[in-house]
Structure 1
Amino acid sequence: MLRVVSVAVPVPGLGCLSYVVPDSLPLPEIGARVLAPLGARVLTGCVIEQEVEAVSERTGPLKPLIELLDESPFLPPDVVRLAVWVSNYYACGVGEAVSAAMPPKALLVGERRAQLTGAGEAALISRRGGAHFRLLSALADGAPHSISQLGRAVPTISRGALHAALSRLSRDGLVDVSQSLKGPVSGFRSVNVVGLSPEGEKFLQEAAQLGARQREALELLSEKPDGIVLADLERQGISRNTVRRLEARGAVALTRMVVEREPWSSEFMDSADGTTELTLTNEQQLAYDALAEACGTDVFSVSLLHGVTGSGKTEVYRRLAKQAIDRRRQALILVPEVALTPAVATRFRNTFGDRVALQHSGLSEGARHDQWHRIRSGNIDVVVGTRSAVFAPLPAVGLIVVDEEHDPSYKQEESPRYHGRDVAVMRGKQAGALVVLGSATPSLESCRHAESGRYKGLRLTARVRRRPLPSVRLVDMREEFANHGPNVVLSEALSAGLAERLSRQEQSLVLLNRRGFATSVFCRECSKSLECPNCSVSLTFHRRGDLARCHYCGYARGRPSKCPGCAGGYLEQVGFGTERVEAEILERLPNARVARLDRDSVRRRGAAARLLRRFARGEIDVLVGTQMVAKGHDFPRVTLVGVVSADVGLGVADFRAAERTFQLLTQVAGRAGRGEMAGEVIVQTLYPDHYSIRLACQQAYEPFFQEEMRFRESMRYPPVVALVNVVVRGMDSNATTKDATLLAREVRGQRGQFEVLGPAPAPIGKLRGKFRMQLFLKGPSRREMREAIEDVLKRYPELKRSVVVDVDPVSTL
């Protein structure tokens, strides 16, 4: 009988692979990491399943595992089970899903190394010229060289040709090719700690002959029985040379100590929220009581907490977390954006102390690694994080909260293309936990589930402390253009409102969901725009750096003085983004303290949290930003919210355009008037009668839901049916179209109750150098559609690398 395990390796699109466990290794547990051979590589894999079967049942020999890295599960089995579900549901490789659940520094990677043999040395003497000779010459020193080293030594040979040439030389016996492993032996950080030895104590007692610094060092250490970190000693004026001399005399001992990297320095907000028990409103109490009853059992359930902005949903979450902890279970709190974690995490940390952990991409790799292992150890009660935190290794999760559940940021746009909200629901189902989805503007999918009874619906219709919702004023920009010309950025109403708040020492938020200074640069002579060479989009002009930049692939170029197409000298900037809005406000209000919050202004780690802390402390008068300013923030001094180009999202070729516009406007309007002073919202638009804008200004969710559902039902879009978006990519336009046509034809030939739309060029027809064709599958069964696509790709494996399958897409661009 063979001992066989199924292993997930981090290779895109690859399913589980079976390996023999050699007699020299114990049978790995599910979730343990192993080193497994794959072709010429050695990869870190994760054991998904244990098998024991007869040799005769296998059609061919299986490769043995090389090494077992963990005696016990590294990934908890329940997280492994969740990752397998993700791979099945979202039609991706199981290794990709497992990798998404792994912490940083968990994977070792194999690298080929080549060394000249005796036969190779002889061949080097007899041969002259050619790629093989150049490779042998690079190995002439007799030392092993990595592929990357050889690539630098022989730059004329491509990486693929290099691998092929080494394989040929290895078969001829001229080189030995081996596999070494790259990766950290340990991902933990350790520091040198200096401690006083018994001999050092004698030196002090006997007043031995010591230098002034040496004596000072020993006196400092005598007060610290656990020792002092070497770097801290240096900060107190004790040099490393002094410590080395003391160590040579036996007066001190140096040891290594593991220290945890602190994530809170950049995350903590100046807030007392969560330190005192607040009195709940009647609506909050009713919602909490209903949720607490569900949380008090080990039975899975999902509730949709639909509460207007400022209604106190976070306080309900905090109390539910306390109840879960009292029952010896843990709470997982998900937020859509890294910028939201400081405020939410601070509130929970103020209540639960150091038993709160963070998990999000804004942390350094080291901090994420340490936080993950703290969670894995069972020393954490609450995890606050973004999408990827849904895989946090909590041992007994009893509550999962998905705040702002409607937000598209919960959907990952690279493989595995999972939706954090839906994976959270599945994790709750597997764990027997309560899942709470919270939002002021629930997604149509969640609202429909609540209407059908699949989710329990709960409402919070009023703000806490009887604070009114802000008043909303619509500004028709067609009239502004008629009165002041087509280049108006800030209407008279918004300009006056900003000036008034500045005079009253109140704060304002201004939203424009578009980055940069100008949306494009075009030539007045030939009417062509500056376009990205890699993507079918115009370059956005950024005043900082004087660059035209692509927001998709990152390509950038300086602003030309002449048109690249016709050499004309009349180049104009068209449209505007957050940079221009910031400049306009500073021009009109030169004494105002204005800051900008978008991806361009907060690229450095912790920059967003620092900017938001400054705004919370009142050090900024006006904060301009993209959708990052619209979500979940609570700033009591903000009494005015301005929305510039409220209709900018309505022109996007996506069936969710109206829903996103309604959600964004409702959310940003909710940032105003959250303190004791009343709030006002000024919305600038060219389409004041569009239902998404009109109803958002009225904060009227139910009429919007009914109107939007009529559109979805007539067009058969989600949530009426399930949708799978399939994109075929390729370097050649004609070949890509041919592949997409073949795929669509073959999928149409599959059995199932679904329809296939397309293929057609994607709205962004070229992205990062690849042409894109798109087809949609619509039907009641996701499984049928996934299986139809997977069956075709099995029969045409050459298509697999060029096809992207997105189940339940949030963006169809």
Structure 2
Amino acid sequence: MYVKIAINIPADSPFTYSVPDPLRGCADVGKRALVPFGSRRLTGYIVGVLDGPDVDNVRDILEILDTDPLFSSDDLAFYSWAASYYHYPLGKALHEILPGGINLTSDRRYVALDVSATPLNSLPERQKNILERLKALPKGMSLSRLQSLLANGPIRKDLSALVSANLVTTLECLKSPDVRKKTEQLVSLAVGRPSNARLSERQKEIVAYLERKGAAGVDELRACFGSHSPVVRQLLKKGVVALSHREVYRSSTEPREMRPDRQIQLNDDQVAAVNALKAGLTRKKFLSCLLHGVTGSGKTEVYFSAMDHVLATGGGALYLVPEIGLTPQLLHRVQQRFQGEEIAVLHSDIGRGVRYDNWRRIQKGEIRLVIGARSAVFAPVPDLRLIIVDEEHDSSYKQDVRMRYSARDLAVVRAKMSSAVVVLGSATPDIRSVYSVRRGKYTSLSLPRRVENRPLPEVEVVDMKVQRDGNGQFQVLSDALQSALHRTFSERRQAILFLNRRGFHTFLFCPECGNALSCPNCSVSLTLHAKANQLRCHYCDYSVSTPSFCPTCHGRDIQFFGAGTERLEDEIKMTFPQIRTSRMDRDTTTARGAHARILRDFDRHEIDLLIGTQMITKGHDFSNVTLVGVISADTSLNLPDFRAAERTFQLLAQVSGRGGRGPEKAQVIIQTFNPDHYAILRAKDHDYSGFIEEELRIRKSLNYPPFSRMINLQLSSLNQDRGRQEVDELGRRARTWSRNPSGGAPVVEVIGPAEAPIARIKNRHRWQILLKSDNIHALHSLARHLILSGQTKTLDIKLDVDPMSFM
């Protein structure tokens, strides 16, 4: 028996191994195996079973690491499709998809040899220090540990010299996984226990308890009998009880105490949407639906009705949201609606042990309803019948590191492979989704009215070019927004202020020499974080204390420009010292559960004003919010991206929709330096259809998506000159290979190479080559050729298929 093993390395194909006789009964697709790989032992994933070898010199697998598969053959087909489409090695993709921290890893340790007879005076000082460190630990030390102890530069060359001199050797060890199955000790009555054993009163109580229960965990006994260990030990000696172990599943601590779910009577539009979804679910065939409903139109109730139908008929459902901040409120509503149904939550804020347990229970069919952020699209749900992608337009569904996948797009692919129904819901659908409806690929469902016919908020646009304070400086808060905030707080209502930029000031500037304080590793300015008294880079996390003088000319007239959420919070507290304010951005939500705590406090009216970045614009439902302020609508509008207008419209429409969810009317104030831009004017009038028509005309004239497809080659090098030469050569190759054999226009349009908008990140110089075509096969074929031929020791190439960002 032979198996195909995918390993977490950049290899295009899996490797063939033989299965020794003792392991043949348990070598199944979806299980992990420990395999020899060169001099190391690595964890791999069984992705195929063969009757005979397809290569020579096949080695044996060492161990099967799972009793049950972590994924099925159907799941593997989906994972393989995703890895292929996004040009990512299958082994690395599986490593990302499966729960983290569960693999055995090979750990190379450096051990000092007996060097008592060897003169060490001739060794460089650095090598002497390494030997002293290693001699202090006879079991050896890893490279990373040694490097951390000797922090003055790389030590790999010194270690190699010591190994060559036979002063140090290396050992390959296995490092245990961080996450394992959790077990508890179980106490039960022993089989054939003596009937005449003399027992104390306390021992009799425990025996009687076990006779009723059959068995009990040690935590359960402790809760019932307090300090019980000595008593159990005596019973064990007398042969009355026996000890064993059983697995226990870890559970999430997602908060469950937000307000009770309201009973809602579906309106005619909702009923029509639900009936269409139920008809599709009954047919058990692939169906892709775009549910376009204005903010507050009750899309969630439509989702719930479809989920109810699936669960009642024994199927599985997957509910995706773009941000983990949405899950606490949503989870509570789901728990209220589906009482008695076990629910798995999968996102990055969930502990790895909980995620591992949830994953295995989902795969076994013990949990049929999964809620999560983008990575949950890979959850191994058996008999998957329904996938919901809420806020389907949101760019957070696109991962921009490692495997650069779109969970929104993969949800459609997975539904097709599973013959399931996928519902893409949004108040501001992605323009590609609208285009797919027009081409007949998606079914259109519409919710044109808010529940209970509540009105959409009134929107006022403020031209910030004429908003200046007494010193002639531009204001952070316009007069109109300040007046509206005063009115809102006097009426004991709540408000939301949106600014998609964190920090205090955007950058620091020296007027004497013209220097803007920038990151030494990246081509970006440093952002002031006032509370920490630091300047920080939001790309590489470089930080430095805020200087009192210019580091270039030593001038002391440093000026601050721009406003971030931290400065906005400071400004609010000075203007409205009596109100309760909270800020929600990446700086305030790093701790586990921080999203939930902030939203819970806001829901309980313990916060009057919530300030935040785009994480506050998505899907939240707070009935007491009657004012929404957009501090700067221009932040997204000025990005170097053909989607800038679409994203601006979506952000404005979505954040506006957070207001007026209750019985009171709401007001939205949008501050901008571009009050006549069509995206802002259409958002002011809640005119999604008008915006889409205008945007489609522009996209078609430029042959941008949805009228074409794109792949972005992200190129980087530590050596700017050598990297630029290789980038130019790659661009020439791309143009040669993209030529039409018949002499017409190129099948694939090659744009670039050009320097990336952020030309350097983490000391790597960056360029881009953009490939564009309406022929998807030609597009992917060219990209594959380029990455195979262009990857060198100097130049790193990353492919971003269907890119959502060009920064």
| TM-score with structure 1 setting the length | 0.90
Partners of 1:82 and 1:800 in 2: CA distance: 34
Task: State the SS of the aligned residue for 2:400.
Answer: coil
Which one of the candidate residues 416, 430, 433 is aligned to 2:420?
Answer: 433
Partners of 2:209 and 2:479 in 1: CA distance: 66
* 1:180-191 equivalence runs, <5 A: 180-184=173-177, 187-191=180-184
Distance 1:246 1:205, change over 3 A: closer
Task: State the SS of the aligned residue for 1:624.
Answer: strand
Q: In the alignment, what sits opposite 1:87? A: 83
Q: Which moved more, 1:147-156 or 1:761-770?
A: 147-156
Gaps of 5+ in 1: 209-213
Task: State the SS of the aligned residue for 2:24.
Answer: coil
Partners of 2:763 and 2:178 in 1: CA distance: 38
Partners of 1:358 and 1:616 in 2: CA distance: 21
Letter in 1 for 2:249: E
Q: In the alignment, what sits opposite 2:446? A: 459
Distance 1:328 1:492, change over 3 A: same
Partners of 2:780 and 2:595 in 1: CA distance: 39
Task: State the SS of the aligned residue for 2:117.
Answer: helix
Partners of 2:419 and 2:785 in 1: CA distance: 34
Letter in 2 for 1:773: W
Which one of the candidate residues 695, 720, 734 is aligned to 1:747?
Answer: 734
Q: Which moved more, 1:801-810 or 1:68-77?
A: 68-77
Q: Which moved more, 1:483-492 or 1:243-252?
A: 243-252
Contact persistence 1:111–1:179 (CA under 8 A): yes
Partners of 2:476 and 2:197 in 1: CA distance: 76
Letter in 1 for 2:38: G
The superposition leaves residues 514-545 of structure 1 with CA deviations (integer Å, 9 ceiling, x where unpaired) of 11111111112112111111111111111111
Partners of 2:617 and 2:330 in 1: CA distance: 15
Partners of 1:165 and 1:300 in 2: CA distance: 61
Q: How far off is 1:200 after superposition?
A: 14
Q: How far off is 1:565 after superposition?
A: 0.8
* 1:329-478 equivalence runs, <5 A: 329-353=315-339, 354-478=341-465
Alignment coverage as a number of residue pairs: 793
Contact persistence 1:266–1:610 (CA under 8 A): no
Distance 1:296 1:534, change over 3 A: same
Q: In the alignment, what sits opposite 2:72? A: 76
Task: State the SS of the aligned residue for 2:292.
Answer: strand
Contact persistence 1:29–1:71 (CA under 8 A): no
Q: In the alignment, what sits opposite 2:308? A: 322
Task: State the SS of the aligned residue for 1:296.
Answer: helix
The superposition leaves residues 6-37 of structure 1 with CA deviations (integer Å, 9 ceiling, x where unpaired) of 32111246442333434554273222211223
| TM-score with structure 2 setting the length | 0.91
Distance 1:588 1:327, change over 3 A: same
Q: In the alignment, what sits opposite 1:7? A: 5
Task: State the SS of the aligned residue for 1:99.
Answer: helix
Q: In the alignment, what sits opposite 2:677? A: 690
The superposition leaves residues 104-134 of structure 1 with CA deviations (integer Å, 9 ceiling, x where unpaired) of 3332111124667xxx65x762564448998
The superposition leaves residues 533-588 of structure 1 with CA deviations (integer Å, 9 ceiling, x where unpaired) of 11111111111111111111111111111111110011111110111221222222
Task: State the SS of the aligned residue for 2:5.
Answer: strand
* 1:649-660 equivalence runs, <5 A: 649-660=636-647
Distance 1:808 1:387, change over 3 A: same
- 1:261 is aligned to 2:255: no
Letter in 2 for 1:325: L
Distance 1:295 1:167, change over 3 A: farther
Which one of the candidate residues 286, 302, 320 is aligned to 2:272?
Answer: 286
Which one of the candidate residues 534, 538, 562 is aligned to 1:575?
Answer: 562
Q: How far off is 1:401 after superposition?
A: 0.5
* 1:60-209 equivalence runs, <5 A: 61-70=57-66, 72-113=68-109, 121=114, 125-126=117-118, 128=120, 129-130=122-123, 144-148=139-143, 158=154, 160-161=156-157, 164=160, 168=164, 177-184=170-177, 187-191=180-184, 206=200
- 1:555 is aligned to 2:542: yes
Contact persistence 1:512–1:578 (CA under 8 A): yes
Q: How far off is 1:657 after superposition?
A: 0.8
Distance 1:466 1:34, change over 3 A: same
Partners of 1:168 and 1:609 in 2: CA distance: 55
Q: Which moved more, 1:404-413 or 1:265-274?
A: 265-274
Letter in 2 for 1:708: E
Task: State the SS of the aligned residue for 1:785.
Answer: helix
The CA RMSD over aligned residues, in Å, is 3.3
Contact persistence 1:536–1:765 (CA under 8 A): yes
Q: In the alignment, what sits opposite 2:14? A: 16
Q: Which moved more, 1:144-153 or 1:743-752?
A: 144-153
Task: State the SS of the aligned residue for 1:266.
Answer: coil
Distance 1:245 1:229, change over 3 A: same
Partners of 1:250 and 1:165 in 2: CA distance: 61
Partners of 2:368 and 2:473 in 1: CA distance: 56
Partners of 2:224 and 2:532 in 1: CA distance: 38
Gaps of 5+ in 2: 740-746
Contact persistence 2:3–2:50 (CA under 8 A): yes
Task: State the SS of the aligned residue for 1:374.
Answer: helix
Task: State the SS of the aligned residue for 2:465.
Answer: helix
Q: How far off is 1:38 after superposition?
A: 2.8
Contact persistence 2:194–2:240 (CA under 8 A): yes
Q: In the alignment, what sits opposite 1:38? A: 37
Partners of 1:789 and 1:476 in 2: CA distance: 45
Task: State the SS of the aligned residue for 1:683.
Answer: strand
Distance 1:101 1:589, change over 3 A: same
Letter in 1 for 2:371: V
Q: How far off is 1:164 after superposition?
A: 4.6
Letter in 1 for 2:140: H
Task: State the SS of the aligned residue for 2:467.
Answer: helix
Q: How far off is 1:236 after superposition?
A: 9.0
Partners of 1:606 and 1:680 in 2: CA distance: 31
Q: How far off is 1:661 after superposition?
A: 0.5
Distance 1:280 1:790, change over 3 A: same
Q: How far off is 1:786 after superposition?
A: 2.6
Task: State the SS of the aligned residue for 1:331.
Answer: strand
Q: How far off is 1:751 after superposition?
A: 4.5
Task: State the SS of the aligned residue for 1:458.
Answer: strand
Distance 1:660 1:153, change over 3 A: closer
Q: How far off is 1:465 after superposition?
A: 0.8
Q: How far off is 1:656 after superposition?
A: 1.0
Partners of 2:194 and 2:655 in 1: CA distance: 64
Partners of 1:632 and 1:383 in 2: CA distance: 18
Q: How far off is 1:45 after superposition?
A: 1.1
Q: How far off is 1:62 after superposition?
A: 3.6
Partners of 1:667 and 1:269 in 2: CA distance: 26
Which one of the candidate residues 739, 760, 781 is aligned to 2:775?
Answer: 781
Q: How far off is 1:739 after superposition?
A: 1.8
Contact persistence 1:80–1:98 (CA under 8 A): no
Q: Which moved more, 1:39-48 or 1:569-578?
A: 39-48
Q: How far off is 1:427 after superposition?
A: 0.8
Letter in 1 for 2:786: V
* 1:602-641 equivalence runs, <5 A: 602-641=589-628
Q: In the alignment, what sits opposite 2:48? A: 49
The superposition leaves residues 61-111 of structure 1 with CA deviations (integer Å, 9 ceiling, x where unpaired) of 344323222355322222211111111101111112212221133321111
Contact persistence 2:582–2:609 (CA under 8 A): yes
Contact persistence 1:204–1:215 (CA under 8 A): no
Contact persistence 1:661–1:693 (CA under 8 A): yes
- Give identity over the alignment, percent: 38
Letter in 2 for 1:352: F
Partners of 1:500 and 1:156 in 2: CA distance: 59
Which one of the candidate residues 474, 477, 497 is aligned to 1:510?
Answer: 497
Letter in 1 for 2:71: L
Q: How far off is 1:41 after superposition?
A: 2.5
Contact persistence 2:771–2:779 (CA under 8 A): yes
- 1:760 is aligned to 2:754: yes
